[in-house]
Structure 1
Amino acid sequence: RMPAVIGTYKEMYDGWMLCRFDDTDPETKRPDPDAYDEILEAIDYLGFEPDEVVKASGRVETYYEHARNLIEAGGAYTCTCSGEEFSTLKNNAEACPHRDKDVETTLAEFEEMVEGEHSSGDIVLRVRTDIKHKNPALRDWVAFRMVDTPHPRPEAAEYRCWPMLDFQSGIDDHLFGITHIIRGIDLQDSAKRQQFVYDYFGWTYPEVLHWGHVQIDAYDIAMSTSTIKEKIEADELDGWDDPRAPTIASLRRRGIRGEAIVEAMTELGASTSNVDLAMSTVYSKNRDIIDDESDRAFFVRDGVEKTLLGGPDTAEPPVHPDHEERGTRDIPVGGAVLVEPDDVPANGQRVWLKGLGPVQHTRNAFEFTGEDLDIVREEGVDVVHWVPADDNVPLRLRTMAGDETGHAEPGLSDYESNDVVQFERIGFARIDRLADPGEESDEAGSVAYFTHP
């Protein structure tokens, strides 16, 4: 949600947008080297361009400099208490025994941290706040800690003394001249922690806008980076762009336009309350964008083959029902067709093969009857889609509920990857890949991703 909201605010107020990768935790929230470019691609897909892009892991020396300044201002001290020991003291509003350490000693011990002379858990640098503050989370919080695990970026792999997010982001927000911070409601303590640092330096804190969590329906998987990552590692998801994953990458691969997501998100506003986003809203926005430009096509799942007795040799359904000027799709019928199991009428009953005409189910075959559309309008005969049994495109359709296999009309092979078509009576789909002519595969070599109904 963040890029959509921040990018929109930038456009509304002719602002300046910073994309900062807060990648200073090489261990617990270890950065994914591929994610840097993927996040920038996602921002571009949503229709925005940051004015500047920085990686916090490339600015460690800047954070060291400000830590030294903070120590000299009396705002920080080194602490060798165990986490459990300090937690007990903090919860009892009691000062750490290291709290009154002099500046020279603290500076010397911080330099030992910078030089990597300590291991993880041995020592931290704490911001000196109000040890009796009513909120224990704000009492003498950690600004720097030791991390034994090297950073995945080679340029940052030598560092072992790393800033915590609240210190790092607080320093950067000031240095980059950020006037407005937009963050989740779960981070509202961050501004309170960072205010202590700003007070020591005599800085003015930016305005902060908090928003609540966005709950999205239609997904069985929680919107959690760690949960999705675990499922990918367990081969329960194919990747971040698996159609079952609640991610920007997934929506993009399904053929949903970035502007549809932005419109749906910005309509939610910036409430501090948790809000629900129905995917039907995103689908509606996207349908308004793609419907007019999307050609129609037939795709039959789990096709039942029926011999066709009589009728035209070629069907001519429209490329788009609202655009006669686009012409028709010429589909050679051949001697048999495939229809979906639920579309096979009872023996003796009729259906209208879309773009071809009326047939009656008789002797386990479809016999062309030659009647006109009145049987549809007046008698309620069903209109169904179909494909030739022999001349078609085997296709795997990837959906949120799992993969479906079937066959598309032969003209689908004339499209290209990233084209979006509407499979009539099924929904929109983005073509992911088309098999080369003559390509042999145990599975359908052509793949499309289901967009939405």
Structure 2
Amino acid sequence: MTLTDDDKKTIEKYALQNAVKYGQAPQIGAVMGRVMGECAHLRPMAKEVGPVIQEVLAEVAKETPEEWQARLEAIAPELIEELNTKKEPDKGLKALDVEEGQQVVMRFAPNPNGPPTLGSTRGIVVNSEYVKKYGGKFIIRFDDTDPQTKRPMMEAYDWYVDDCKWLGADPDEIVIASDRIPMYYDYARKLIEMGKAYVCFCDGADFKKFKDAKEACPHRDLSPQENLMHWDKMLAGEYEEKSAVLRIKTDITHKDPALRDFGAFRIVKVPHPRPEVDDKYCVWPLLDFEGAIEDHELGMTHIIRGKDLMDSEKRQTYIYNYLGWEYPKTTHWGRVKMHEFGKFSTSALRKSIEDGEYSGWDDPRLPTLRAMRRRGILPEAIRKFFIEMGVGETDVSISMDTLYAENRKLVDPIANRYFFVWDPVEIEITDTEPCTVNPSLHPTEDRGCREIDVADKVYICSEDAEKFQVGSKLRLKDLFNVEITSTEPLQAKHIGDSIESVKKEKMRIIHWAPMDGVTVKVMSPDGEFTGIGEKQVTTELDKIVQFERFGFCRIDSVDDEVVAYYTHK
């Protein structure tokens, strides 16, 4: 199946609408999201749609905002009307239901099996922002009670705390669940004594048959004394893995099978990676039990959790009712999907890193906060991005372009400008004398100038050089005008310095780099770019600069060569 002319027109009109709305050529993710959202028949054709969108965007990028407006008015005037009348959705965080005199206590509870991703960052930002708003208490609780399937990484504990502080979400308290196992055991014993929990010896398949049939398993009605005996044997390591599970009694005939007698503890004999825990325990709480106990013990007043965890809340309510507790006020939100990354899975990312697919957790292709930091995405941009997203049950599908737009507002005024030529080729220039030029470090801010020495050769991008013909006239930005005299080898002659002649003859303006420049390697989500940059960029370590006609980059190192991480356009 191929795209029809109508399909291509649809792509074109949405690309133009996006350009008109934001005043700049759109990124593919933004247009892809709109097209796929409106045209269900194109969704199975993503591989065919992508290249067509790229072609359309390349044409759009060549035009001015005035031309975008005129073309959109010609082919889809209704989209102009939509831009003029469409009400912006409510942004920001809606008010919490807070009782008079109540101190708000909220938590972010990650599994430290890897560093924060953009998915988990939403929880950090929103919970901490609510606490700031109400003058409450923000707790980080590490749910690290699965030493096997989602085995914690020792480094991740510090990564989470460090990233939280970087985001301006300093925790008031840090709790590590694996330090508090005895407390969970005490509550388990109490529930067993109350007849509300029992040790089940059914294997998984057999228990599922009982559960699906709404029937009690053979162990459900054992006395509390017998269950305490089995519980003590579990704790003493006398039972093998998967041979016994502590279950919470619920309504075995409940219409929802997920709520029937759920598991609270299982046997895992793999040592925990934290040396202070190691092999001290072989019975570990499942998240529904551990989270229920902790939310009460830590005085949680409000919880924000994914709508996919509504069943967890219903299971935990049984424990709260048995123990006479009041469940925290709960808000649910939908999933966030970033077009460029799809579903976030820390376990999958970890395996890909271990397999050598990525260089590490800060690889610029990854959706981790460590990667965002290394690329030069600022914490203020991330906070605003997630706060404006708000809290709602609707799933959110959004492009990174939205985050980049927030970051661009912050970095554009502070980023010095430099020339960087990737995939460079030499061009020899005749009829000129050695000179020194002093382009400004910033087009609008008074921040001084660079100093670039030029002789009879400079570097330019090969993709520019491929478009030249003998007789082509162009301007080397902030230098002078030249006319191509030869393409093999690449040569040109100096034909003047006048800006007026550039406008009059509609010359292309290209950037360049001096022959005594430094080697620059840019690491980006689209791969590695190597070329030549100005020497002065070596003074910008750990700062964000703009490589003209390329994009914003954060200078990561300036040792034998300059290594920069791509931020965004």
Fold similarity call, TM over 0.5 = yes
Asked if 1:11 corresponds to 2:132, the answer is: yes
Q: Secondary structure at the match of 1:85?
A: helix
Seen in structure 2, the aligned counterparts of structure 1 residues 169 and 146 have a Cα distance that, compared at 3 Å, is: same
Structure 1 residue 23: Cα displacement: 0.4
Report the Cα distance in structure 1 between the residues aligned to 2:444 and 2:390, rounded to whole angstroms: 35
- 1:185 — aligned with what? 307
- 1:412 — aligned with what? 537
Deviations 1:329-381 (A, max 9, x none): 00111331000123233221121111212122124323222241012323221
- 2:146 — aligned with what? 25
- 1:321 — aligned with what? 443
- The letter for the 1-side match of 2:304 is I
- 272-281 or 191-200, larger mean C-alpha shift: 272-281
- 2:402 — aligned with what? 281
- 1:349 — aligned with what? 472
Deviations 1:263-303 (A, max 9, x none): 11222221112111211110110011111011001110111
Q: Per residue, is there more helix in 1 or in 2?
A: 2
Q: Does structure 2 conserve the Cα–Cα contact (< 8 Å) formed by 1:253 and 1:449? A: yes
- 2:326 — aligned with what? 204
Deviations 1:148-204 (A, max 9, x none): 211111112221000000100100000000001111122111110000000110000
Report the Cα distance in structure 2 between the residues aligned to 1:385 and 1:192, rounded to whole angstroms: 62
Q: Does structure 2 conserve the Cα–Cα contact (< 8 Å) formed by 1:311 and 1:368? A: no
Give the 5 Å matches for 1:152-191: 152-157=273-278, 158-191=280-313
Asked if 1:56 corresponds to 2:177, the answer is: yes
Q: Does structure 2 conserve the Cα–Cα contact (< 8 Å) formed by 1:354 and 1:386? A: yes
Q: Secondary structure at the match of 1:167?
A: helix
Deviations 1:363-409 (A, max 9, x none): 432322224101232322111111112x1111111111111111111
Q: Does structure 1 conserve the Cα–Cα contact (< 8 Å) formed by 2:353 and 2:361? A: yes
- 1:300 — aligned with what? 421
Deviations 1:294-327 (A, max 9, x none): 100111011110113215511211100102x311
- 1:429 — aligned with what? 553
Q: Does structure 2 conserve the Cα–Cα contact (< 8 Å) formed by 1:317 and 1:328? A: yes
- The letter for the 1-side match of 2:470 is N
Asked if 1:102 corresponds to 2:226, the answer is: no
Asked if 1:402 corresponds to 2:527, the answer is: yes
Asked if 1:37 corresponds to 2:37, the answer is: no
Report the Cα distance in structure 1 between the residues aligned to 2:412 and 2:434, rounded to whole angstroms: 30
Q: Secondary structure at the match of 1:17?
A: strand
Q: Secondary structure at the match of 1:326?
A: coil
Structure 1 residue 234: Cα displacement: 1.2
Q: CA RMSD in A?
A: 1.3
Structure 1 residue 422: Cα displacement: 0.3
Report the Cα distance in structure 1 between the residues aligned to 2:208 and 2:276, rounded to whole angstroms: 34
Give the 5 Å matches for 1:379-390: 379-389=505-515
Structure 1 residue 218: Cα displacement: 2.3
Asked if 1:120 corresponds to 2:245, the answer is: no
- 2:500 — aligned with what? 374
- 2:458 — aligned with what? 337
- 1:447 — aligned with what? 563
Q: Secondary structure at the match of 2:154?
A: coil
Q: What is the TM-score with the length of structure 1 in the denominator?
A: 0.95
- The letter for the 2-side match of 1:403 is E
Report the Cα distance in structure 1 between the residues aligned to 2:237 and 2:501, rounded to whole angstroms: 83
Tell me the matched-pair count.
Answer: 441
Q: Secondary structure at the match of 2:428?
A: strand
Q: Does structure 2 conserve the Cα–Cα contact (< 8 Å) formed by 1:428 and 1:452? A: yes
Correspondent of 1:359 among 482, 488, 496? 482
Correspondent of 1:249 among 370, 379, 389? 370
- The letter for the 1-side match of 2:294 is D
Q: Does structure 2 conserve the Cα–Cα contact (< 8 Å) formed by 1:312 and 1:356? A: no
- 84-93 or 344-353, larger mean C-alpha shift: 344-353
Structure 2 runs not aligned, ≥5 long: 1-121
Report the Cα distance in structure 2 between the residues aligned to 1:222 and 1:334, rounded to whole angstroms: 52
- The letter for the 2-side match of 1:356 is L
Structure 1 residue 222: Cα displacement: 3.9
Q: Does structure 1 conserve the Cα–Cα contact (< 8 Å) formed by 2:521 and 2:528? A: yes
- 1:240 — aligned with what? 361
Structure 1 residue 119: Cα displacement: 1.6
Report the Cα distance in structure 2 between the residues aligned to 1:11 and 1:155, rounded to whole angstroms: 33
Report the Cα distance in structure 1 between the residues aligned to 2:433 and 2:500, rounded to whole angstroms: 18
Structure 1 runs not aligned, ≥5 long: 440-444
Report the Cα distance in structure 1 between the residues aligned to 2:260 and 2:527, rounded to whole angstroms: 49
